[in-house]
Amino acid sequence: MDFELKLSVIKVNKSKLCELTIAELSRKLFDGEIRATDVVGSCLDRIEKTQETTNAFVAYDPELALETAQKQDLHFAEGVVSGPLHGIPIAVKDNYLTADYPTTACSKIYPDNPVGLDSTMVAKLRSAGAIVIGKTNMHEWAYGATNEESSYGTTRNPWNSEHITGGSSGGSGAALAARMVPAALGSDTGGSIRIPSSACGVSGLKPTAGRVSRTGILPLSWTLDIGGPMARSAQDLRILFNVVSGFDPKCPTTYGICSDNQSTNKGHRFRIALFRSSEILCDDTVMESVEQALDVLRDDGAVVDEVSFSGLETGFGAWKILLHCEAAAYHAKFLEESADLYSDNVRVQVEAGRCLSASTYLKAQQYRAVFNQRFSQLTDRYDLIAMPTLPVTAPRIGQSELEVNNSPITSQDAMTSIAWIANFTGLPATSVPCGFDERRLPIGLMFVGPAFGEETILSVAERYQALTQWHKFAPSWN
């Protein structure tokens, strides 16, 4: 038995393990073909090679990770398997509380966190056997979508280190793209999981509001925030989502019972709406890639209609009001005590939020109800709504203003200008790679589903990834 194990291990190129998906690694781990220490070792080697260029991690502890992997291997040898993520290394965004690492939200304020506590999602991952390999870089307090502002410095895109990763879960996006880990956690208030997934060419899922616990994630804007998985395939997102989702008695906003959307019916022809609006600026190259992706699905049997929608500009404005008001309420104490420890960029936004009146906030919430009612008419008619995740590929670092279709837009606004819809409505959304621009920067395709429709959007994303190869491309390293 021992002899057989050694023999089979020889077949595997251990240094390349970090490039495999969770599904691939699990199979090898459960077959005894590789060990958790091999996987962690491969990831640590890759982190060593790419961390300086990407700045994806803000903390990682090779000894601790290897020690945990060794324990997993011992358990496995004894016939004990923790769960479906046994031996899988995972990177955690720095706004999730983790028992073994400090949590700073990449702010200099260093919030006063409870010591030794895991956020619920991290605890669920560990129970399922995942190995937390480190904490990833993020936009300071998650209050921005470029990942340029961070107490640990800007995160750099593995596809081109002169470009941003998008944010605020940019470190998780970069870590996945650079094949430093097969799995990561992000959080999403206006696209912060999907934006870096798109900009870094990886896959990310923002769950339906209430389907995962927010306990132990430092908030940005609590009626919009949600955590979620990031990975390199829709299949891996499903594996992670099944582990992290579900009721949490510690989180009053989680649902006890989930009525899953039923359209995963195998024989069903998916009805997809391609979302069009004159209010969305979008680069031609990006839109063409999205249209081509829908052609692939249409050829595969899906019904694809074009639908138009209005009220997006007002909605985007209302989303910003909710964000700024809630963030200002959360930050009031920090701002009073340590205003000088904020970056200018983030402090200005917190201060702006303080000046907004309760009436303005409540009007925004009222518009949200009206908007969501209208948007649900789309999700009632279609299995999912398709749109680009971002109107552009990753802008250059430091480029605060862009031009899209001859109209000026800030990089920050460009990043969130489409993705916010899923937070405003609370609906599930996934971003998967669907091409590259002429500079070899990834393009992302977003699917927004009905409430509790994670299964549907992941099924379509998985089908798309079975038909195409975009998610398999990796940046090249010299």
- What is the smallest separation between the CB atom of 250 and a copy of itself, expressed in angstroms? 12
Closest to 44 in 3D by CA, of 27, 34, 32, 57? 57
* Dist CA 37 CA 239 (whole Å): 21
**Least CB distance to a copy of itself at residue 324 (A):** 8
Tell me if 257 contacts a copy of itself by CB under 8 A: no
**Which residue, 226 or 282, is less far from a copy of itself as judged by CB?**
226
- Residue 164: half-sphere exposure toward Cβ, Cα within 13 Å: 31
**Dist. CA 140–CA 415, nearest whole Å:** 16
Q: From CA 268, how far away is CA 453, in angstroms rounded? A: 15
Stretch that binds a copy of itself, among 53-61, 351-359, 422-430, 441-449 (CB under 8 A): 351-359
Q: Is 476 in the site for a copy of itself (CB under 8 A)?
A: no
Q: Does 363 bind a copy of itself (CB under 8 A)?
A: yes
Smallest distance from a copy of itself to CB 247, Å = 16
User: Given candidates 4, 114, 284, 359, which one binds a copy of itself under the rule CB under 8 A?
Assistant: 359
- 71 catalytic per annotation: no
Asked if residue 251 binds a copy of itself (CB under 8 A), the reply is: no
Token match 């992000």: residue?
A: 186
Give the residue, chosen from 13, 259, 357, 478, that forms a contact with a copy of itself under the rule CB under 8 A: 357
Work out which of 66, 307, 356, 409 binds a copy of itself, going by CB under 8 A: 356
- Please identify which residue in 353, 391, 426, 475 interacts with a copy of itself, judged by CB under 8 A: 353
Taking CA atoms, 209 is separated from 158, 241, 361, in Å, by 30, 13, 20
Q: Which of residues 309-328 bind a copy of itself (CB under 8 A)?
A: 321, 325-326, 328
Q: Determine if 259 is a binding residue for a copy of itself (CB under 8 A).
A: no
CA angle 51, 134, 180 (to 5 degrees): 45
Q: Which of 28, 42, 93, 187 is catalytic?
A: 93
Report if residue 466 touches a copy of itself, rule: CB under 8 A: no
Closest CA to 259 of 423, 453, 430: 453
Is 221 designated active site?
no
The neighbour count for residue 296, using CB atoms within 10 Å, is: 14
Pairing outcome for strands 183-188 and 226-231 = antiparallel
Nearer to a copy of itself by Cβ, of 321 and 346: the residue is 321
Q: Is 248 in the site for a copy of itself (CB under 8 A)?
A: no
Stretch of 145-153, 234-242, 362-370, 395-403 contacting a copy of itself, by CB under 8 A:
362-370
The residues with which 231 forms a beta bridge, in sequence order, are 183, 203
**How does DSSP classify residue 19?**
G
Q: Is 80 an interacting residue with respect to a copy of itself (CB under 8 A)? A: no
Catalytic-role residue among 26, 42, 151, 168: 168
Q: Which is nearer to a copy of itself, 10 or 369 (CB)?
A: 369
If you write DSSP's letter for every residue of 400-462 in order, what string do you get? -EEEETTEEEEHHHHHHTTTHHHHHHT--EEEEEEEE-TTS-EEEEEEE-STT-HHHHHHHHH
What's the rounded Cα separation, in Å, for the pair 175 and 204?
A: 13
Spatial CB neighbours of 121, under 8 Å, sequence gap ≥ 6: 96, 185, 212, 213, 216, 217, 227, 244
Using DSSP's 3-state secondary structure scheme, residue 228 falls into strand
Is 168 annotated as catalytic?
yes
Question: Which CB sits closer to a copy of itself, 348 or 355?
Answer: 355
339 touching a copy of itself, by CB under 8 A = no
The region of 23-31, 72-80, 358-366, 400-408 touching a copy of itself under the rule CB under 8 A is 358-366
Q: Which positions are annotated as active-site residues?
A: 93, 168, 192
Q: Using CB under 8 A, list all residues that contact a copy of itself.
A: 252, 321, 325-326, 328-329, 332, 353-363, 366, 369
